Amino acid sequence: MTSGERLRQRIIAAGVVLVAAFSGSAIYDGWRLHQQITIANERELGNLAKALAEQGARTLQAVDVLLRDTGEWWETTGRDLPADAVATALASRVVGVSQVSVLTLVDAQGMQRHRSRVTGEALADVSDRPYFQSQREGSAGGLFINEPVVTRTDRQPALVVSRRLNTQGGIFDGVVTAIVTLQEMQAAYSAIDLGEGGALILTLDDGTLVVRQPEATGMDANRRYPELTAFKGAPLIDRSVSPVDGRAKLVAAVGVGKRPLTLTLTRDEDHALRPWHDEMRSAIIRTLLLTALVVLTIAGLLRQLRRLEAGEAEKAALQARLQKAQRLESLGTLAGGIAHDFNNILGAILGFGEMAQQHAAPGSDMRRYIDRVMQGGARARVLVRRILDFSRSGVAERVPVPIQAVVEEALAMLRPTLPEAIGIDARLEAGTAAVLGDGTQLHQVVMNLCTNAAQAIGDAGRIEVRLERMQSEAARPALHGERPAGPCVRLTVSDTGHGMSADVLQRAFDPFFTTKKVGEGTGLGLSMVHGIVADLGGAIDIATELGRGTQVTVWLPVSGESEAPPLRPEPTWPRGAGQVVMVVDDERPLVELAEELLAELGYEPVGFDSSERALEAFEEDPQRFDAVLTDEMLPGLPGSELARRLLALRPGLPVILVSGNVGAALEQRARDAGVVALLRKPLGLQELAETLARTLGCR
């Protein structure tokens, strides 16, 4: 190596050391500046959030004191005063609290009795309002803050704040409410400058928007922010992607006293760190001036490559998310379409089955067979409704379910499907215990466990099913979940099969895991059981040994007792008096079924299998028909549009709309079209009879 080469190496090394030292110094200074600016912003944002929350708490405290004082005055003195004196007293009380627009006294039946001022509206029945129901049931826990409303008289945003009234004996005696206007609060908050992209959001604990600065407009004015409630109770300052505009934010969330309100301040992190960005740009410029052109070129190429790789990764992630969303949407659409078509078939089965049930002699074998058919049809109707709920992202309804009746029904349906060499020993001792859940889901749990047991047995063996009540003093861990404390039921399904290995037991509840051959199972049975049991607050245990069978135990909390269903008398329904009813459905069997049902009820049905022919017949003689019963899903002209055209020709005509997929959108279309009733397929004779009698009786 020559001296020139050694000198070049030394010069390059010196340059590298100099650039590295200068770069390290700039990075360290930038890191310190970043920390200082971030801490300063967090301190400022946290202090401001606390101050504003305390101010809001004082405002609500003044309203709470007013409600408490008014309630005590009413129970001790005000009740005996005449109405004019009560109104005057209420008005004088409101004078000292500028945030309160109207002070109202509501009796125990939900009727408004006294107001602090005349609003131009009649005293109303508020028994169906959430605040009245919560105070009446004692679940409000004192002060109840309703969702924001717009007052009808002043057209101003406001909160309905209420407190329960009690007699001296502690009996519910009504509610005292205050309409708290949000103008002053909005005016106070509007003076606060949170910087570019900053926002102040005041929400209820469920995420309902109360106040937002800058003010929300359009769709954002009605949206909820449940994401913000996750910050309440956490460290005061956090960093998150804001649900308001999707940008990175510094977030400060503080509870407003002990009230169910959360005040959240957000500041754009880029805006808060703008001085740091400016300083770092200067440092980079200084560094770049001291580095060689080669270093700048290499750094630029690497930076550009990293950007391209990040962009490609982000693009691939977005495409994957889009494809997943499209698959789920397609699955929901397919499920809804299949369920709707099956609903039409099921409607004919249940309708004609119900008619056959009426004509079969009570106690006869034929009546018993038809009853079994109707039971299966009723369960199929529930399953179809669950498929439709899935297509709309619905939630299963939870009601007290008699668990022993569900197990008995599941075993009765399972026995005929098993080989003769497989026996079922059932010992059901739960009595009238009820589990809060969905009957179809509980039926599915029993069927899946018993089906898995039968498949584990093979050609011959025994399945033992036990159901018994238990009392647990404390929650105990199980293989999956915790056994609930208190009263519970224990369902045990045992088999004499080949058992499970430790590896299989470890993955038994994994979705799509199965030990069966390809095409013989989906692997969703036990994972579905696990999901249902966990959702109901229960637990699952498995005891198994290779060659000696498996025992699966399910614990579910008991919610109460279920009464034995009373013997149902023969149904009697209101009958018609020969009124002419137009029936429109594109399924000819359903038209025939509706005609049979209406004829049984004493009406004169006229059926059409298309909306166009029905409209033509109506245009020829609008006075011929007394009512219209039409399906919504009609080719060409939907039922709601047909109703609109019929009512345009003859206002006041009773139109009843029928659909197997009833949702919020259909309900709105029905209201807009002027439909008087909306029924769900498949139609029941009693529901149809009562709806027609009520509709025609109101004409």
What's the domain range around 174? 13-291
Residue 544 and residue 550 in contact, taking contact as beta carbons nearer than 8 Å:
yes
List Cα–Cα distances, 226 to 198, 232, 429, in angstroms: 19, 11, 44
Do 287 and 415 reside in the same domain of the chain?
no
**Pairing state between β 476-477 and 482-483:** antiparallel
What is the CATH classification number for the domain harbouring 212?
A: 3.30.450.20
Domain stop point among 257, 291, 325: 291
Do 556 and 603 reside in the same domain of the chain?
no
Pull the structure tokens for residue 243: 């649900």
Return the minimum-mean-pLDDT range out of 8-22, 526-540, 654-668, 670-684: 8-22
Do 136 and 215 reside in the same domain of the chain?
yes
pLDDT in tens, 428-446: 988 888 888 887 778 888 8
7 located within any domain: no
Return the minimum-mean-pLDDT range out of 154-158, 185-189, 196-200: 185-189
Q: Distance between CA 90 and CA 113 in Å, rounded?
A: 12
At 630 the pLDDT is 92
Do 428 and 483 reside in the same domain of the chain?
yes
Residue 251 and residue 237 in contact, taking contact as beta carbons nearer than 8 Å:
yes
pLDDT in tens, 382-422: 666 555 554 544 445 678 889 888 898 888 878 777 887 88
At 518 the pLDDT is 42
Pull the structure tokens for residue 445: 């749990």
Q: Distance between CA 88 and CA 416 in Å, rounded?
A: 76
At 8 the pLDDT is 57
192 located within any domain: yes
- Indicate the pLDDT class of residue 582, thresholds 50, 70 and 90: very high
At 646 the pLDDT is 92
Residue 441 buriedness (CB in 10 A; 0-12 / 13-18 / 19+): buried
Pull the structure tokens for residue 464: 């033992």
Rg of the Cα trace of the chain? 35
Q: Distance between CA 121 and CA 153 in Å, rounded?
A: 8
Q: If you count DSSP H runs as helices and E runs as strands, how many of each does the chain have, helices first?
A: 17, 26
Q: Quick one: the chain helix, strand, coil %, rounded to 5?
A: 50, 20, 30
List Cα–Cα distances, 638 to 63, 579, 634, in angstroms: 52, 24, 5
List Cα–Cα distances, 500 to 424, 459, 525, in angstroms: 21, 18, 16
**Pairing state between β 172-181 and 157-166:** antiparallel
Q: Distance between CA 429 and CA 467 in Å, rounded?
A: 6
- Indicate the pLDDT class of residue 655, thresholds 50, 70 and 90: very high
At 298 the pLDDT is 66
Do 111 and 197 reside in the same domain of the chain?
yes
Which string of DSSP letters, residue by residue, matches 562-573?
-PPPPPPPPP--
At 492 the pLDDT is 93
356 located within any domain: no
Task: Name the more confident of 208 and 406.
Answer: 406
Task: Name the more confident of 397 and 636.
Answer: 636
Residue 392 and residue 405 in contact, taking contact as beta carbons nearer than 8 Å:
no
Report the pLDDT averaged over residues 18-31: 79
- Indicate the pLDDT class of residue 235, thresholds 50, 70 and 90: very low
Q: Distance between CA 671 and CA 224 in Å, rounded?
A: 26
Residue type at 586?
D
Pull the structure tokens for residue 489: 């039921």
Q: Distance between CA 662 and CA 679 in Å, rounded?
A: 8
At 519 the pLDDT is 41
% of the chain beyond a pLDDT of 70 = 74
In angstroms, how far is CA 166 from the centroid of its own chain? 34
- Indicate the pLDDT class of residue 240, thresholds 50, 70 and 90: low
Report the pLDDT averaged over residues 318-344: 61
Structurally, the chain folds into a number of domains equal to 3
Domain stop point among 268, 291, 314: 291
Residue 388 and residue 394 in contact, taking contact as beta carbons nearer than 8 Å:
yes
Non-local CB neighbours of 677 within 8 Å, separated by 6+ positions: 656, 657, 691, 694, 695
Which of 94, 99, 102 shows the shortest CA–CA distance to 73?
A: 94
Pull the structure tokens for residue 61: 């405290």
Which of 63, 18, 67 shows the shortest CA–CA distance to 257?
A: 63
Return the minimum-mean-pLDDT range out of 283-292, 324-333, 410-419: 324-333
Which of 585, 30, 483, 491 shows the shortest CA–CA distance to 277?
A: 30
Task: Name the more confident of 495 and 321.
Answer: 495
Q: Distance between CA 612 and CA 506 in Å, rounded?
A: 61
Q: Distance between CA 447 and CA 439 in Å, rounded?
A: 12
250 located within any domain: yes
315 located within any domain: no
Which string of DSSP letters, residue by residue, matches 479-544?
SBSEEPSEEEEEEEEEE-S----HHHHHTTTSTT--SSPTTS--S-HHHHHHHHHHHTT-EEEEEE
List Cα–Cα distances, 19 to 29, 107, 291, 299, 424, in angstroms: 15, 81, 6, 13, 82
338 located within any domain: no
Q: Distance between CA 379 and CA 409 in Å, rounded?
A: 11
Do 471 and 589 reside in the same domain of the chain?
no
331 located within any domain: no
pLDDT in tens, 190-206: 667 766 667 777 777 77
Do 495 and 587 reside in the same domain of the chain?
no
Do 220 and 271 reside in the same domain of the chain?
yes
Do 673 and 621 reside in the same domain of the chain?
yes
At 305 the pLDDT is 61
Residue type at 562?
S
Instruction: Please give the DSSP secondary-structure letter assigned to residue 147.
Output: P
At 393 the pLDDT is 41
Which string of DSSP letters, residue by residue, matches 602-664?
T-EEEEESSHHHHHHHHHH-GGG-SEEEEES--SSS-HHHHHHHHHHHSTT--EEEEESS--H
At 629 the pLDDT is 92
* 3 state DSSP class of 167: coil
Asked if pLDDT for residue 328 goes beyond 60, the answer is no
Which of 441, 385, 373, 383 shows the shortest CA–CA distance to 413?
A: 373
Q: Distance between CA 249 and CA 213 in Å, rounded?
A: 15
Task: Name the more confident of 30 and 244.
Answer: 30
Do 78 and 197 reside in the same domain of the chain?
yes
Domain stop point among 513, 533, 561: 561
pLDDT in tens, 459-508: 788 889 999 998 887 788 777 778 888 899 999 999 888 887 776 776 66
* Maximum average pLDDT range among 170-174, 315-319, 560-564: 170-174
Task: Name the more confident of 299 and 115.
Answer: 115
Do 520 and 635 reside in the same domain of the chain?
no
680 located within any domain: yes
Residue type at 65?
V
What is the CATH classification number for the domain harbouring 408?
A: 3.30.565.10
Task: Name the more confident of 261 and 522.
Answer: 261
Report the pLDDT averaged over residues 232-260: 65
Asked if pLDDT for residue 57 goes beyond 80, the answer is no
Do 586 and 551 reside in the same domain of the chain?
no
**Pairing state between β 604-608 and 476-477:** unpaired
What is the CATH classification number for the domain harbouring 679?
A: 3.40.50.2300
Task: Name the more confident of 556 and 7.
Answer: 556
Asked if pLDDT for residue 349 goes beyond 60, the answer is yes
Backbone angles phi, psi at 193, to 5 degrees: -100, 110
